[in-house]
Structure 1
Amino acid sequence: MGAKTNLQAALAKHMAGDLRGAEALYRDMIRRYPRAPETRHAHGNLGAIHLVEGRLEHAEQSLRAALRLAPNDPGVLGNLGLALRGRGRLDEAVSCHRKALNGAPTSANALNNLGVSLTERGDTEEAIACFERLLGLTPDAPDALFNLSVAFERANRLEEAARHYGKVLDRAPGHLGALNNLGNTLGELGAVDEALECYGRALSLDPENADAHWNRALTRLLLGDFANGWREFEWRWKAPVMQGQRRRFDQPAWNGGPLTGRTILLHAEQGLGDTLQFLRFVPLLRDAGATRVLLEVQPPLLSLLRASPAVEGVEVIPRSPDFPGGSNLPPFDLHAPLMSLPLLLNRSHPAAPDTPLLRASEAATRIWTDRLTAAAPSARIRCGLVWAGRREHANDRRRSLPLAALAPLRELAGVQWVSLQVGPAVADLASWSDAPFDASPFLTDFAATAAALASLDLVVTVDTAVAHLAGSLGRPTWVLLPFAPDWRWMLGRADSPWYPTARLFRQSRLGDWSGPVSEVAGELQRLADGRGAPQSSVSACAIASCNGAST
């Protein structure tokens, strides 16, 4: 059998869906005919099999081997771009898709793949141009219209996104992605009742659609419907985005039954702020008679929580290195995700703590107080602001704000600014005329950050883990919220049922931070002038994003 005949046999198996048979023939061809012209197709098609089966590293190897034989093959370049995008290497993916499009300027696949990679990289305006060009070639393609809608949504052009999702549904009424995303977009526009209708329509078509259930749960929690929200929140474990955090232990999950004589493992999930927020439910299991309560948390929280009064009598342990596995965990009988506790404990409303959940080291707090006093002995108030969260967060483009938007705060008299910002946004401080005290070199974990916060008068923060840390410490905490906030901050209220010392400052218009920033500036100046006091007796404040963490 020659190379050409071998390739034809492999292609026949490939087209018939016999991927194992095709793979064997492609590999045999590569071994027997390494220099034959047809061998580039064997490499490329083997890469395509790896790609469709999710073996992205092997796909990249095979596709690069094909490109060494045919450097400008648009199909191979496109598949390599998909493999690289799947591995999170978006710059390389965009480069591959550009080369593929140069070789096939009217290729719908090349245009679509480039647009998707640009969207994921955040280059939404160029992505929109790609999809509009694609729709000029294929005007009735619902998927191209859907991807254009996604790009509009990522670009914060929400009215256009909603309109285009509507067009997708006009052409494909059963498009579940469009129904889910239209619901999300309407929610971001403040039309929460219409958002619930979209999720309901999606579930009428597919009752097992995990994304629709989870989105509806989050909307119900946002509206304060905790009883129904917690129940539907359990669908998160069937959502694709959560599969990387799902624990698959041999021991059974706790169903809310008696714990007497049992050891239960509680495991943190999602963000660091989520862990801090749901910490309040842990003592209830200790008090329910469990012989031993293990609390597995993310490593940055370990030393802080081990000293927490909220988990006295609970064994706080670090997340297993092979997470979501559990190779290093102590023996246990039952397990439960931390964010499932309200449902399992039948708590239909948030449980506001009577006393702070967390406690900072007194010795470390004194060091911070002395440090800040030495830096600005005449300051009347030491105050701050979190302006940026972790950039990888799905909603960071809405919850974070540019430091330039906080210009009104720079002019306040009598205020010492203390920056707790870490990560890339620390560089933004160079734009401030009077440089704040940069605390980031001292912030080695959340215990260190807690000591800094405990030495401050007030914390002003966007929605990151620092809001939960400050609130759990019982510190006066002012939270700047986007027009469509995360579910935990609810709607239409200036306080939080989760944190008694929190005060919420909300956007009144989508994407416009001027209103809440102006309100914060006025209130802060009033405090600095001695015409008021924060909500609890404390002694300083910070510009902060705690260790780059986010909820």
Structure 2
Amino acid sequence: MLDRGILYQNQQDFKSAVECFQRAIKFRPSLAVAYLNLGISFIALGKRQQAIEILQVGATLDGTAVRDRSAHDQARSSAFLQLGALYVEQGKLQRALAVYREALSSLPTLLQQREVLYQRIGDVFGRLQQWDEAERHHRAALELQPNQVAAHLSYGITLARNSSRASEAEMWFKRALKLAPEQASVYHHYAEFLALQSRHHESAVYHRRAAELAPTDYALVVAAATSLRLLDRKAEAELWYRKAVALRPDDAHAHTNLGAILHLLGRTNHAAASYKDALRLQPGDAITLGNLAKLGVTNV
């Protein structure tokens, strides 16, 4: 049942996957990987509370009777990580910290997971604006896995919060780039850092590179377009906003953004058409109606 559930999960048939994982748990109630995958399937179906409940059970399963203790503990660790991420998503940061700390104390031998847990704890402390604790945990993650790209990024982001340590933060972003020269997220985070430093021309270069490396990532494509628009490079920005519309043709904001850049380019008829497309997807939107009014269009 477990293998069949994973097959359904890979095919994104999450309802069928849930049924298989539930049966697997019924016959083998100590199988942590079944709880983990059931939780993941619930998340995919938008059933967050059910995912939390099942992951809580899976994360705390006793593994004394299982045959493969290492695989059992790996599944438990992943359940802790999924559970913590759900709490972060819900803004329950103290609960997330408690989950990550429980994982550290109950799974002390899993080195790679400890690095991820330290990084996650550091990220949560960053959200809580407790920068010293955030830095301490990010440093701990780097000491365990000095070549881990995500740890470099998290540490750089934390340091960048302190304007007096901007040069130090930049060093960590550059180290991440050397470790992962083809990873779009690294370019994006460095671009965001450069924008905060008001180095907008450099920021645009890295935003665009991020989008080139991940041309189907809507957020990165929009970030590239926006970065170029802020530099008044409107024609280039238009190209990226069009890519965003192609990626999400049913997203009203994508059409609004395209309409706005066409408006700035003086192509009023095309701008009006994009605004009207946005209104069809999001009727009555005040901003889009206001933009149309600026074009002299009131009959929509």
TM-score band (shorter)? 0.5 to 0.7
Mapped contact 2:259–2:270 kept (Cα < 8 A) = no
CA distance in 1, matches of 2:102, 2:244: 52
After TM superposition, give the deviation of residue 449 of structure 1 in Å: 5.2
Mapped contact 2:30–2:63 kept (Cα < 8 A) = no
Gaps of 5+ in 2: 65-72, 278-282, 295-300
SS in 2 for 1:315: helix
Matched, 1:166 2:139: yes
Partner of residue 199, structure 1 = 173
CA distance in 1, matches of 2:257, 2:175: 43
Partner of residue 229, structure 1 = 203
5 Å matches for 1:141-290? 141-190=114-163, 191-237=165-211, 243-245=216-218, 269=222, 274=226, 281-282=233-234
Which has the larger Rg? Answer: 1
CA distance in 1, matches of 2:52, 2:131: 25
SS in 1 for 2:129: coil
Q: Alignment length, in residue pairs? A: 262
Partner of residue 287, structure 2 = 446
Task: Output one character per residue of 1:340-396: Cα deviation in whole Å (capped at 9) or x when no partner.
Answer: xxxxxxxxxxxxxxxxxxxxxxxxxxxxxxxxxxxxxxxxxxxxxxxxxxxxxxxxx
CA distance in 1, matches of 2:35, 2:269: 54
Residue 115 and residue 444 in structure 1: after superposition, are their counterparts in 2 closer, same or farther (change >3 A)? closer
CA distance in 2, matches of 1:451, 1:84: 42
Residue 157 and residue 284 in structure 1: after superposition, are their counterparts in 2 closer, same or farther (change >3 A)? closer
Mapped contact 1:149–1:162 kept (Cα < 8 A) = yes
- Code of the residue aligned with 2:147 in structure 1: it is G
Residue 239 and residue 188 in structure 1: after superposition, are their counterparts in 2 closer, same or farther (change >3 A)? farther
- Code of the residue aligned with 1:158 in structure 2: it is W
CA distance in 2, matches of 1:156, 1:124: 12
Gaps of 5+ in 1: 1-42, 248-267, 287-292, 322-441, 455-551
Q: What TM-score do you get using the length of structure 2 for normalisation?
A: 0.67
User: For 2:40, which of 82, 89, 111 is the aligned residue?
Assistant: 82
- Code of the residue aligned with 1:299 in structure 2: it is A
Mapped contact 1:211–1:239 kept (Cα < 8 A) = no
Residue 189 and residue 90 in structure 1: after superposition, are their counterparts in 2 closer, same or farther (change >3 A)? farther
SS in 2 for 1:207: coil
Mapped contact 2:222–2:244 kept (Cα < 8 A) = no
Matched, 1:312 2:153: no
Residue 132 and residue 48 in structure 1: after superposition, are their counterparts in 2 closer, same or farther (change >3 A)? same
Percent of paired sites with the same residue: 17
Residue 202 and residue 87 in structure 1: after superposition, are their counterparts in 2 closer, same or farther (change >3 A)? farther
CA distance in 2, matches of 1:204, 1:101: 36
Aligned residues: CA RMSD: 4.4
Task: Output one character per residue of 1:273-330: Cα deviation in whole Å (capped at 9) or x when no partner.
Answer: 94996596447999xxxxxx999585363897599465335623449x9xxxxxxxxx
CA distance in 1, matches of 2:202, 2:269: 30
Partner of residue 133, structure 1 = 102
- Code of the residue aligned with 1:46 in structure 2: it is R
Mapped contact 1:77–1:100 kept (Cα < 8 A) = yes
After TM superposition, give the deviation of residue 178 of structure 1 in Å: 0.6
CA distance in 1, matches of 2:121, 2:289: 45
Q: Which moved more, 1:294-303 or 1:113-122?
A: 294-303
CA distance in 2, matches of 1:50, 1:229: 42
Structure with the bigger RCO (C-alpha within 8 Å, sep 6+) is 1
After TM superposition, give the deviation of residue 165 of structure 1 in Å: 0.6
Partner of residue 370, structure 1 = none
Residue 131 and residue 46 in structure 1: after superposition, are their counterparts in 2 closer, same or farther (change >3 A)? same
Residue 447 and residue 205 in structure 1: after superposition, are their counterparts in 2 closer, same or farther (change >3 A)? closer
Mapped contact 1:303–1:447 kept (Cα < 8 A) = no
Residue 238 and residue 181 in structure 1: after superposition, are their counterparts in 2 closer, same or farther (change >3 A)? farther
SS in 1 for 2:182: coil
Mapped contact 2:30–2:62 kept (Cα < 8 A) = no
Residue 299 and residue 146 in structure 1: after superposition, are their counterparts in 2 closer, same or farther (change >3 A)? closer
5 Å matches for 1:32-51? 43-51=1-9
CA distance in 1, matches of 2:179, 2:262: 49
After TM superposition, give the deviation of residue 125 of structure 1 in Å: 0.7
SS in 1 for 2:172: helix
CA distance in 2, matches of 1:270, 1:226: 12
After TM superposition, give the deviation of residue 243 of structure 1 in Å: 3.5
CA distance in 2, matches of 1:224, 1:77: 47
Matched, 1:124 2:97: no
Task: Output one character per residue of 1:188-238: Cα deviation in whole Å (capped at 9) or x when no partner.
Answer: 233322221111112222322322222222222332333332222223226
Partner of residue 299, structure 1 = 252
Mapped contact 2:147–2:179 kept (Cα < 8 A) = yes
Mapped contact 1:90–1:121 kept (Cα < 8 A) = no
User: Which is helix-richer, 1 or 2?
Assistant: 2
5 Å matches for 1:397-476? 444-448=285-289
CA distance in 2, matches of 1:304, 1:157: 41
Mapped contact 2:8–2:17 kept (Cα < 8 A) = yes
Mapped contact 1:202–1:209 kept (Cα < 8 A) = no
Mapped contact 1:186–1:194 kept (Cα < 8 A) = yes
CA distance in 2, matches of 1:285, 1:221: 17
CA distance in 1, matches of 2:183, 2:237: 32
Mapped contact 2:218–2:244 kept (Cα < 8 A) = no
